[in-house]
Amino acid sequence: MNNVEQTLLADSHIDDAILSKTLNSMMGRQVNFADLYFQSSQHESWMLEDGIVKEGSYNMERGVGVRAISGEKTGFAYSDDISPLALQQAADAAKGIADSGNGTQVQAFKRQSPIKIYQTVEPLGSLTQEQKIDLLHQVETHARQVDSRVSQVIVSLSGVHEKILVAASDGSYGTDIRPLVRLNCSVLVEENGKRERASAGGGARTDYSYFFESECNATGQEKARYLTYAEEAVRQALVNLVAVDAPAGTFPIVLGAGWPGVLLHEAVGHGLEGDFNRKGSSAFSGKIGQQVASTLCTIVDDGTMENRRGSVNIDDEGTPGQYNVLIEKGILKGYMQDKHNAELMGVKPTGNGRRESYAHLPMPRMTNTYMLAGESSPEDIIKSVKKGIYAPNFAGGQVDITSGKFVFTSSEAYLIENGEITTPIKGATLIGSGPEAMKKVSMVGNDLKLDAGVGVCGKDGQSVPVGVGQPTLKIDEMTIGGTQ
Amino acid sequence: MSEAKKFSDPLIEQLDQVKARVAQVLELAKSLGADGAEVAMSRQQGLSVGTRLGEVENVEFTNDGALGITVYQQGRKGSASTADLSEKALVQAVEAAVNIAKYTSVDDCSGLADKALLAMQPINLDLYHPKELSTEQAIDIAKECEQSALDSDSRITNSDGASLDCFSGFKVYGNSNGQLVGYPSSRHSLSCMVIAGSDDEMQRDYAYDVNRDFTLLNSGISIGKKAAREAISRLNPQKIATQKVPVLFRADIANTLWGHFIAAISGGNLYRKSSFLLDAIGKEVFPDFLTIQERPHIKKALASSAFDSEGVLTQDRDIIIDGVLQTYLLTSYSARKLGLTSTAHAGGIHNWLVKDENSHAKGDVNADFDTMLKTLGTGLLVTELMGQGVNVVNGDYSRGAAGFWVENGELAYPVSEITIAGNLTQMFKGIIAVGSDIDKHGSIRTGSILIDEMQVAGH
């Protein structure tokens, strides 16, 4: 028995026999699939502002979700009490969707041990409380040292330690321990009565030691991550302090490498989730095998990247994380699937069945979504633009998967004039249509980069951590919502 | 609801038990060395059903509970929360909060709300109207709603389904200043989203209603028809040219503008100097015909509450009189940072009523949607906004939009894939009129808003 089984089952007097019996009790009806999802998580966060540690909090969650599927119908119930009685009550409620009859047999559990994409570390205890406080202060001190125009610094640190166990009627049985850490620095800079705020940070599925490892900062120096976050926040805020109003209209757009991959998440990613395509409600429905992007675009969703924020050893249905090619050289190859939608569409699940917690139903969700590197140098891409926009940083985005319209909002952007990056411009929203924008990708850089580990994706009220990435790329035409 | 039923309601019985539990948790915090503590505990149960294309899709039984505790120890603060309400977990949460307060810093502004401001005997706002529905009854209601959308027009080709959600629960709040209060509430909603068109030209839209009292919900048939009408009206949109035009925000979209105003006058952004409305009290922020009132005690209303999340008594307040800002929105903490008194806004606002005194003064209560379109004349009607392009620090505004081009007061054609941009300071001053077509779905009751000029980016 592993540690997760001990915490989630044995401590609550639940064993394999009870799991099988519960699943069996649901399958006695016209239910073709049922699963049990046990979860226990601890989350902490610390916040420094005005030079003092103002807030600290610790949150606990523990419960079980029970699902029964009969064709397209799903019954779902959950309990914050993990006990044989609560489990049976939830199962009785969930199976109510199906008429009585003969269901499928429950398969024997197949315990699987997939390759570990992240290690079973415990983030919350990886630093002492004193060390956590000290880290917050060091980030603040560094941000203030970088530039005297920094008038305020807010630093936050958070860690999650989550254990999950899935047991399903198809024999799936898996456990996972999911660490997740995040550090963020937000600054306010002030000059001549003008103020701008910016923030930067990062995170990963590991422990707090991640922030002390070194990486290259904006000027190519090797520095500990927590220092580069402070520098990056100050740099972005100072750029915006001198930014002029953005133009309004349609221009060629060059998107920087890394976090601007939020473009792919919105313009393509959501539209390729299995549920929307099973229902035919996505702008990409029924287009497998068709050209949906320029031939320069190969886009993948990859749950197997080491220690990445969006990675999963197993997804929340017990399917191991996978490397899935969504679009290859512009041709649509496949959708992201959970078990329910895969079954209804006659394909295999792809390791994208994710849920916010035991109290939420799993859905097809992205993991780490990115575009593979192309051949152009980022310099050549900029040089190719006579008049346009260069946008290396974004605040976030949104999509209407049915019409395909998507937006994302720049947090750092510049004009490109005669092949050179010139004046910084204020944050503005860019809007396009997913399938059209991807066909207008005319150059793809050789500098693929993933984001720093900050992405949160919301769908139907459920939030899950995700990653995005891309090389520098050029879209021949997008609408930018400035004021000039 | 009869008195007899009230006494047999298990949820109400639970509320009293939870009050006792909260009192115990406060005692425990004290015994562990906290010199101040506050505890909030909630419980919610409900049923959600979803149907799609006439078939059941989801049946979900909701049953959530959570406890949050904040302790203070000589000016230091620590918090913890748990969704596991076992005795063991509650003790663990209190211990964790007390432990954290050993490491946080002394902060003169932190602490419980001032005792004199607390709601010790909160009034009943009639927010609890539970509805007993069988799963089958709930499914029938959702099915009827979706079917009316599917049947209403042959251009409705697909559906994202209809759903009915019925929740009831309670909140209990207590603190070491002797306050221990709680109330039950309910919330029911019915919504429908359908798709018009096919292949490369699909548009979706939705309609919904939400109410504390199930019997006051709009009929499923009317919600379904509205969803179908909205989706069809969006078919074959055009992109318009980049230009400066007057913009009318439809009432259900207009509340987003008040949302940005709320952020700008919230204490947290003000003491961080992160608002475009610093030092704006007593200044004209809107045109002189505009008035905003806060009315926290409207019976059955969605954003009614007798006290805020720190237990502070809510009261009627003028936010804007004749365009002039009367108050900030303060929690105990932000009030102390600014040298002011809490305005009972921990956790948000409580029912805002936005009024255009021009139309009131003239006895013109007919600034309905059609009249607003005529006042707009030729310009853009916005019915959907996308993205988060609003900078509260400087008021810069840039969002994706969809809606309709309006010519001489008449809808001409649907518009999509455009952005609208401006600066909130000027947009607020540039309000020409607020309609009487009040949207009552949310916490802000506003009509449509006409702004003199914004930059549209299109082709």
Which tens digit of pLDDT belongs to each residue from B40-52? Answer: 999 999 999 999 9
Q: For the sheet containing B444-445, what is the strand order?
A: B324-325, B317-321, B290-294, B352-356, B444-445
User: What is the C-alpha separation between A277 and A270, in angstroms, rounded?
Assistant: 10
Lowest mean pLDDT among A311-325, A394-408, B5-19, B439-453: B5-19
Contact: B58, A76; criterion CB under 8 Å: yes
The one-letter code for the residue type at B318 is D
Task: Kindly state the DSSP code that residue A126 receives in the 8-state scheme.
Answer: S
> Per-residue pLDDT tens for A307-331?
999 999 999 999 999 999 999 999 9
CA–CA min distance B306, chain A (Å): 27
Q: Which of B240, B386, B397 to mutate to test the interface with A (most CBs of A within 10 A)?
A: B386
The residue in chain B having the minimum alpha-carbon distance to the alpha carbon of residue A292 is: B200
- A380 touching B (Cβ < 8 Å): no
Chain B residues within 8 A of A73 when measuring between CB atoms: 55-59
User: What is the C-alpha separation between A473 and B430, in angstroms, rounded?
Assistant: 39
Cα B379 to chain centroid distance, Å, stands at 29
**288-347 in chain A: CB under 8 A from chain B:** none
pLDDT, residue B364, reads: 56
Mean pLDDT of chain A: 94
DSSP B72-132: EETTEEEEEEES--SHHHHHHHHHHHHHHTTTSPP-TT-SSPPGGGB-SSPPP--------
Is-contact B282 B324, C-beta < 8 A? yes
The one-letter code for the residue type at B379 is G
The pLDDT of A283-310, averaged and rounded, is 96
The pLDDT of A39-61, averaged and rounded, is 96
pLDDT, residue B6, reads: 44
A247 or B13: whose pLDDT is higher? Answer: A247
> Per-residue pLDDT tens for B386-436?
998 999 999 999 999 999 999 999 999 999 999 999 999 999 999 999 999
> Per-residue pLDDT tens for B93-131?
999 999 999 999 999 999 999 999 999 998 999 999 999
B360-383 burial code (b ≥16 CB/10 A, e <16):
eeeeeeebebebbbebbeebbbbb
Percent of chain B topping pLDDT 70: 97
The one-letter code for the residue type at A23 is L
CA–CA min distance A213, chain B (Å): 25
pLDDT, residue A28, reads: 73
pLDDT of B362 higher than 60: no
CA–CA min distance B70, chain A (Å): 9
pLDDT of B249 higher than 80: yes
User: What is the C-alpha separation between A156 and B234, in angstroms, rounded?
Assistant: 43
Q: What are phi and psi of B95, to 5 degrees?
A: -60, -40
**288-317 in chain B: CB under 8 A from chain A:** none
Residue at token pair 């740099």? A235
The pLDDT of A334-363, averaged and rounded, is 96
pLDDT, residue B5, reads: 43
Contact: B83, A60; criterion CB under 8 Å: yes
Q: Does the structure's ipTM exceed the value 0.85? A: yes
pLDDT of B359 higher than 80: no
Which structure tokens are listed for A465?
């951590």
pLDDT, residue A395, reads: 87
Lowest mean pLDDT among A252-256, B12-16, B123-127: B12-16
Which pLDDT band holds residue B3 (cuts at 50, 70, 90)? very low
Which pLDDT band holds residue B1 (cuts at 50, 70, 90)? very low
**106-145 in chain B: CB under 8 A from chain A:** 106-107, 110, 135
